[in-house]
Structure 1
Amino acid sequence: MDTSNPSPSLRVNSKSKLKKPKRVSRKNKKEKHQTSTVWTEFVKLPINEEGISKATCQWCGKIFLVDSHHGTSNLHRHLLKCLKRNEVKQDGEEEGRVLQNKIIQEEFREMLVEAIIKHNLPFSFVEYKGIRKVFSYLNSNVKHISRNTSKADVLKLYKKEKDDVKNNEGYICLTAHYVNENWELKKIILNFCHMPPPHTGTLLYEKILSFLEEWGIEKKIFSITLDNASNNDNCQDFIKKKKKKKKLNEGGLLLCDGIFFHVRCGAHILNLIVQEGLKVIDDSVIKIRETMKYLKGSESRMCRFDEFAKLVGMKRTKGLHSDVCARWNATYDMIDNAMRYCYVLNRLAEEDANFKHCSSRDEWNRVERITRFLEPFYDITTLFSGTDYPTANLYFQGVSQIELLLLEEMESQDSFISNMAKWMKVKFDKYWDCYSVVLTCAIVLDPRYKLDYVEYIFKKIEPIEHIAEMKPMITVSSCVGSSSHTSSAVDDPNDDEDEEDDVSELHFVWNLIIMKVVVVPKQKKSQLDLYLEESRLNKKKNPKLEVLSWWKEHYNRFSELSLMARDLMTILITTVAS
């Protein structure tokens, strides 16, 4: 109340009510109680059900009654006798000490990890004496950590964030694959960003198109490789066919109106096929999975495993690990590694009464047959997932090997393997009925195979049906006339014999669909004819031929065909490499 120039009414009120100043005084006294210096070192606790108020010391944590009638004398007396407070006072750090709250060690370590990552600090940052002194000044109860602990915390945070991205967050990655001026295969990640749900075909189409327009390459796309999901099918359909305001095929930019535009991920299809076969897997593989869990569950068990390995004259050169449901080849790795150490596991089972999941001799034999059956799938998956070499020319060969293997194993005397093969063949037929024919053309442009291998496979696996499927493709182009090339019948090209090529309907289809070269007079042979008439390179002598380098060297002889080969070899047959 301002009384510097009081009004008459205020004077009358102040004289007539003498008790008011006492009430104000009590109120002021209460306010002083709340702002006492003792509360910089005590925290007042909530009043309990009995109406009793208490406070806790921030130094030692002891709790005291707070009596509003007698003030804070007991709290002041405690501060004089508080051992932890006096220790700090003796160190000369009492003056200007920051008010301390109870520290939560987990949160403190998380903040340290974030600081280390954000500012690229060394793990030993937490051991600096000056930094530790600052932490202790802010709170004497802080627990300092070592560099090894900070490293473990960083890895823990990384795993947590990684799991969040995999399990909770949707993201999209667009990678460009191309051949540079030196005929070298290159890969560049153009965009990697968050993709919130829903992941519909329309939204994916709009997202991808915006990426391409941002880079200015929307008119330079040859093909797109996607996983085998229905939303991805809808996405590529919007890109090339649907009536949208913007589409990549506007003006006929895509080859053959986009017939060869969409490529399904080969590794993903292989995974789905093998997973179908693993559904009928028996207890022998389940036991191996439990064995891996048992061994990996204790460091002492792994030590005992190494001891028994030495006893049987073996050394652990490959790690033992459990499989991952989303990756079938991890199951192959698990059972393949277990097979290497079956004698060690049998010896360990004899000595360890708690080890109850070891396979019997018959089960080990079954696992060995499963391993042999899955090995080609494992090798082809690894081949398809390459990043530093073209894979389009390998696609047809890998697919044909798988189909021939399934057809053979379906007739196996082993009922278990035969059953697996039948289940896998059903899934195989579902996905490879719609594979891109342009990938068949890629193997023709591999000088080790040419047209011979394609003809051989089509004649061996229901040739009439395959030819019938390819006939409708003739109408999509009228670039080049029929070929004048003739030769004798075709044998297995893997024999690497110098036989002549055969006149085939596939050769004719190849000319009509693929060859976008300059039309030449009928009496002259096209570059394709000249290329196919030459002897194939010996596959055994050229197991790792650099196909792009070969076409670069022969550019002067096959200029148009070389450029076509360069385009086809940029097609990626799997998204795994990205």
Structure 2
Amino acid sequence: MERPDGELIKMAYCNFCSQVNRAHPVRNGTKNMNLHYSICKGNPMNEESLKQLKLCFTKKENNGDGEGCSIGTLQNWKYDEKAIKRSLIELIVLAELPFKFVEHPAFIKYSKSLQPKYNFPSRHTISRDVSKFYVEEKKKLYKFLGNLNHTIHLTTDTWTSTCQKINYMVITAHFVDDDWVMHKRVINLKRVNNHRGEDIGRVLLKCINEWGIKNFMTITVDNISSNDKVLKYLIEHLPGMYDNGKHFHIRCMAHILNLVVKDGLKVYEKAVETIGSAVKYIKSSSQRIEKFKVSIKNTCDSNRFLIAECPTRWNSTYDMLKSAIDLQEAFYNYSLKNASFSSDLESIPRRADFHAYQRVCDFLEKFKEITELVSTQSSPVAHLFYSEILDVDKHLRDWEVVSNFDKMVEKMRLKYDKYWGDYKKINHYMYFAVLLDPTMKSEILGYGFRHLMEKGCIPEENEFDVDTPFEILIVPEKEDKIKVLVSEVETNMGVLFGLYNEKYGTKLTVNSSDVKKSSSTQCTNTTRRRGNTFLNSFKSQNSNRSSGVDDELRKYLKEPPIELDDEEDFDILLWWKVNSPRFPIVSKMAKGNKY
């Protein structure tokens, strides 16, 4: 090719697409043509269908407990820029990495060693891609939440930023998808002007409308008085709720446990303050921290260190006491070598005090376990609520006769009874969740009611109120009263079943001949707590019962509960996924009640 100035330029002609590229042997070489050859759309070797696929082993995703499965699958693999880009976006989002991470030389070097063909985006490009990714995911979630076939549960939490002095509220949606996998999605983080009930209610209602949520069952809130006004406002402005919203409100179990334990700890307030002051004193200075580490090395050689408590979370108080007990010899050694420790503080932990601290920790350990259980996000726990609160009741009764714990238990009992002391105070949805646990069903309800009746929590003949079933006041025998209470729960659940039957009955059919009953060995995951003494006593005294509810629900309730060994795991969502063909409507109820 000749340039306007008369200079001849050597060019190369592509036989596939007719594109012309410079090919000067010195200036250009073969680089241009090699690059063009690899991306030329006319090159048959670049057609996806003609590329040779590669085989690779792909491990299964995490099973929910943080451990990946060692058994994978053999799959075809081919280079896919879109898939790499998607994975990079997910890495940035899930790991909360800065956008400039993609430009870090070490990351580029590492990634190029894996796949040199990929052209990495700039931080500006990845920023735009993340924004697009957010919009796409929001559209998917909006479509899911707005589907009438999906039941949504909402939770809220409000707090005041200590540094900004601003009130915030986070709104979270919980649901089980079509594959019986539980999800948690934060759908809004809103600034609220104050904690007044109606103002919070307006913010919640606006969020519900913005997301197009049409089929939600419950909302879980903490127990401040303003939330009663929040719920009243929502019920007034959200028509069509089951039972006029009577069972709409779920009290946060973790929050109630926090209130119960904090009331009990007031009895040992001075002792707890002694530990807390000592921990703050040591951790407030880097020099003191180093000296205390030396004391740890000289006495117990532990990898643990002191934990400071958070005023709003009782479990941090437990962690503080537990760490102090493990390091009690270090406290003694530190006090001997640092005279200012005892002179600067009003009181310091003494060797003789740690036995009492240990007893308090022994008592609080069960509350710690239950709090961690009900706070889990990866699996449903609603069906465990009933057995756990009754285990708390049993735990309090066991310790109220222990020396030096009677006053502490008395204070905790008052708070416990305020929220859970009367069987009528428990939301019926929580009873439904128990019935929908194939390992419990009605049996544990009856066992629990018997336990409450023996402790005086079930009304006698002359203790009538408007919410007490009339039948229970006229039957003389205790076992008959228990049957009435269980029957009442089953009847109420039957009403809910009727609503589901109207909605899904014509779409779903039962084909039990094609589906065998599943055994508990098919289920491999659990959130069940091993140390539930109430549940263990129920298993040892399980008795027969009969149901008064008809149709598919009656069939489900009549089947005996699955018996589990103490160490046997049980995945309730997997069980319902396997058995949904046998119980198509009841499984829909289970999907809506498990969160």
TM-score, with structure 1 as normaliser: 0.60
Question: 1:425 & 1:175 partners in 2: Cα distance?
Answer: 31
User: Hey, what does 2:559 align to over in structure 1?
Assistant: 534
Aligned pairs (5 A) from 1:303-322: 303-316=290-303, 318-322=304-308
Map Cα deviations across residues 204-226 of structure 1 (whole Å, 9 max, x no partner): 22221121111211x31211111
Question: 1:265 & 1:273 partners in 2: Cα distance?
Answer: 12
Give, in angstroms, the shift of residue 431 of structure 1: 2.2
Question: 1:419 & 1:195 partners in 2: Cα distance?
Answer: 40
Give, in angstroms, the shift of residue 191 of structure 1: 1.6
Give, in angstroms, the shift of residue 313 of structure 1: 4.4
User: Hey, what does 1:238 align to over in structure 2?
Assistant: 233
User: Hey, what does 1:290 align to over in structure 2?
Assistant: 277
2:257 corresponds to 1:262: no
Instruction: Give, as a single letter, the amino acid of the residue that structure 1 aligns with 2:588.
Output: L
Pair 1:167–1:398, CA change in 2 (3 A): farther
Question: 1:200 & 1:550 partners in 2: Cα distance?
Answer: 43
Runs of 4+ in 1 over 4 A off after TM superposition: 119-122, 162-167, 467-476, 517-520, 522-525, 541-544
Question: 1:407 & 1:236 partners in 2: Cα distance?
Answer: 34
Contact 1:473–1:513 (8 Å) recurs in 2: no
Match 2:585 to one of 542, 551, 560? 560
2:428 corresponds to 1:428: no
2:331 corresponds to 1:338: no
Give, in angstroms, the shift of residue 291 of structure 1: 1.8
User: Hey, what does 1:451 align to over in structure 2?
Assistant: 442
SS at match of 1:175: strand
2:396 corresponds to 1:406: yes
Instruction: Give, as a single letter, the amino acid of the residue that structure 2 aligns with 1:225.
Output: T
Contact 1:306–1:315 (8 Å) recurs in 2: no
Instruction: Give, as a single letter, the amino acid of the residue that structure 2 aligns with 1:509.
Output: E
Give, in angstroms, the shift of residue 451 of structure 1: 2.1
Across the aligned residues of Structure 1 and Structure 2, the Cα RMSD in angstroms comes to 3.4
Question: 1:474 & 1:555 partners in 2: Cα distance?
Answer: 35
2:385 corresponds to 1:395: yes
Question: 1:526 & 1:559 partners in 2: Cα distance?
Answer: 12
SS at match of 1:188: strand
2:205 corresponds to 1:205: no
Number of matched pairs:
380
User: Hey, what does 2:360 align to over in structure 1?
Assistant: 370
Pair 1:503–1:306, CA change in 2 (3 A): closer
- Bigger shift: 553-562 or 351-360? 351-360
Map Cα deviations across residues 265-320 of structure 1 (whole Å, 9 max, x no partner): 1111111111111222153322211221222122233333333333334222x331
Give, in angstroms, the shift of residue 372 of structure 1: 0.8
User: Hey, what does 2:351 align to over in structure 1?
Assistant: 361
Question: 2:548 & 2:392 partners in 1: Cα distance?
Answer: 41
Give, in angstroms, the shift of residue 360 of structure 1: 2.7
Instruction: Give, as a single letter, the amino acid of the residue that structure 1 aligns with 2:562.
Output: L
Question: 2:275 & 2:221 partners in 1: Cα distance?
Answer: 34
Question: 1:276 & 1:362 partners in 2: Cα distance?
Answer: 25
Aligned pairs (5 A) from 1:56-95: none
Question: 2:408 & 2:325 partners in 1: Cα distance?
Answer: 20
Match 1:180 to one of 174, 177, 180? 177
User: Hey, what does 1:505 align to over in structure 2?
Assistant: 484
SS at match of 2:268: coil
Question: 2:450 & 2:273 partners in 1: Cα distance?
Answer: 40
Question: 1:543 & 1:229 partners in 2: Cα distance?
Answer: 39
User: Hey, what does 1:156 align to over in structure 2?
Assistant: none
Contact 2:171–2:188 (8 Å) recurs in 1: yes
Give, in angstroms, the shift of residue 526 of structure 1: 3.6
Question: 1:312 & 1:523 partners in 2: Cα distance?
Answer: 65
SS at match of 1:173: strand
User: Hey, what does 1:228 align to over in structure 2?
Assistant: 223
Give, in angstroms, the shift of residue 258 of structure 1: 1.4
Instruction: Give, as a single letter, the amino acid of the residue that structure 2 aligns with 1:238.
Output: Y
Give, in angstroms, the shift of residue 335 of structure 1: 0.2
Give, in angstroms, the shift of residue 474 of structure 1: 9.1
Instruction: Give, as a single letter, the amino acid of the residue that structure 2 aligns with 1:380.
Output: I
Contact 1:474–1:509 (8 Å) recurs in 2: no
Give, in angstroms, the shift of residue 563 of structure 1: 1.2
Instruction: Give, as a single letter, the amino acid of the residue that structure 1 aligns with 2:256.
Output: I
2:268 corresponds to 1:281: yes
TM-score, with structure 2 as normaliser: 0.58
Contact 2:218–2:247 (8 Å) recurs in 1: yes
Pair 1:400–1:377, CA change in 2 (3 A): same
Map Cα deviations across residues 341-391 of structure 1 (whole Å, 9 max, x no partner): 112222222332222254233311111111111111111111111111112
- Bigger shift: 347-356 or 462-471? 462-471
More RCO (CA 8 Å, sep 6+) = 1
Question: 1:449 & 1:237 partners in 2: Cα distance?
Answer: 33
Question: 1:503 & 1:325 partners in 2: Cα distance?
Answer: 42
